[in-house]
Amino acid sequence: MRSDATERQFTFIERARRAQILACATAALAERGYAGATLADIARRAGVSKGVVSYHFAGKDDLLDQLVADFYGRAGTSIAARVEAADTAADRVRGYLEANLAFVAEHADGVRAVLEIVANRRDADGALHFRPTGSDPLVDHLAGLLAELPGVGPKATHARNLAIVVRAAIDAAAGRLLTEPTFDPAAYTRDLVRLIETARLTETAGNSHDQHA
In a shared domain, residues 53 and 112 = no
In a shared domain, residues 178 and 190 = yes
> Mean per-residue pLDDT for 128-157?
84
In a shared domain, residues 123 and 43 = no
Cα distance between residue 101 and residue 177, in whole Å: 10
Q: Model pTM?
A: 0.83
Question: DSSP H helical segments within the chain, as ranges?
Answer: 4-36, 39-46, 50-56, 60-84, 89-106, 108-120, 137-147, 156-179, 185-212
In a shared domain, residues 43 and 123 = no
In a shared domain, residues 38 and 84 = no
pLDDT tens-digit map of 12-27:
888 999 999 999 999 9
In a shared domain, residues 96 and 198 = yes
CATH number of the domain where residue 199 is located: 1.10.357.10
In a shared domain, residues 109 and 91 = yes
Full residue range of the structural domain in which residue 49 is found: 1-57
CATH number of the domain where residue 40 is located: 1.10.10
pLDDT tens-digit map of 109-132:
999 999 999 999 999 999 999 988
In a shared domain, residues 53 and 108 = no
Tell which residue, 145, 165, 161, 169, has the closest CA to residue 90. Answer: 145
Cα distance between residue 134 and residue 204, in whole Å: 30
Most confident of 31-45, 178-192, 195-209: 31-45
Total structural domains within the chain:
2
